[in-house]
Amino acid sequence: MLTVIRDYIRTQLSRGLSRNTLKAYESDLLQLHDFLQRYFEDQQIDLHQVKRIFLRDFLRHLSNSERSNRSLARKSTTIRNFFNFCEQNGIITDNPAVGLKIPKFEKKLPKHFTEEEMVQLLDIPDQTSKFGIRNKAIMELIYSSGLRISEVADLSLNRLDMDRKLVKVVGKGNKERIVPFGKRAYQALENYLKQRESFLGTQINNTLFLSKSGRTLSPDELREILDRYIRLVARTGGYSPHTLRHSFATHMLARGADLRAVQEMLGHSNLSTTEIYTHLSLKDIKKIYSQAHPRSEKKD
C-alpha cells in the first residue's frame, strides 16, 4: 500500500497542487495505512481485501479523537480519490470507498481586521528603516490586491506594472491572473523600489521582495515578518498574515464590490469560496439599514 500511496501522490503533482496540500494528502493516507494495519496483523496490507467497514471504522476512530468535521471531510475526500485511483489503474476491482459519506461541516467565517485596525497595522513599519519600508510595501500590496503569501514570495520585478498599477500573479494550479493595486500600495512599492538595490549587494536577483542578504524571501520568512506586526494589532488569537487577504475581500464586498470581480482578484476557482466573505456584522447591517430605509428612525 505504501508504494501505491507514493505513486498516487506523484500523479497529484501534475495537477499543480501546493506542497502543503500534497503533504496533507500523504499524511491522511499514511494515517489510514497505520490504522488498516491492525486488520492485517504482521502482513502487508492487501488493497483487494480492504472493506468499506474498515474505512468507516477509520473515520469513526478519527471522530472519537475529536477531529473536526472539516478535517474528517478532507480525509474522506482523500480516501475516495485514492481508491478511485486504485480502481482506475487496475490495482483493485471492487472499490470500498464507493458511497463513503463525507461529513458535512459548517464554514467558519474567516477573521478579518476592521478598516481602522488595518490603518493601525499599515502605519506600524518604521519608514526610516529600509526593512520597515520593505515590510510596509509587502503589507500594502497584500491588502490592496488580496494576494496569498506564497504569491507575494514568488513575485518577480517584471510582473509588477507600476505605470498601470497592475501585478501579474501566478496562483494555485499555476493559473495566472492580473490584479490592480491602489495608490497607497503604489506609493509604498515606489518607496521600496528606491531601496531595493541596497538589499542586493553584488547579487543578481529578479525577485521583488528580498531578504537582508539579497536572497528571495520564502513564504515562511514572510509570515514570520508579518506576524510580528499582526500581534501588535490583533485583539485575540486566530489572526495571521492570511488575515490581510481576508480583510481585503471583506472590505471590498462591504463597500459594494461585485462578488465575481472579487472572485477573480482572489483567484478562486469557485464562487462559493468567495461567498464566505459576504458576511456583515449586525452593527454594519443596522448602520446600512438606518441610512437607507425610508421608514427607519434616522434624524434629518
Write the single-letter amino acid at 78: T
186 catalytic per annotation: no
Q: Is 277 a catalytic residue?
A: yes
Is residue 242 annotated as part of the catalytic site, yes or no?
A: yes
Q: Is 172 a catalytic residue?
A: yes
- The catalytic residue among 70, 130, 168, 172 is 172
148 included as an active-site residue: yes
Query: Which of 111, 177, 242, 279 does the annotation list as catalytic?
Result: 242
148, 196, 246, 251: the active-site residue: 148
**Catalytically annotated residue among 75, 112, 245, 251:** 245
Question: Which residues are catalytically annotated?
Answer: 148, 172, 242, 245, 268, 277
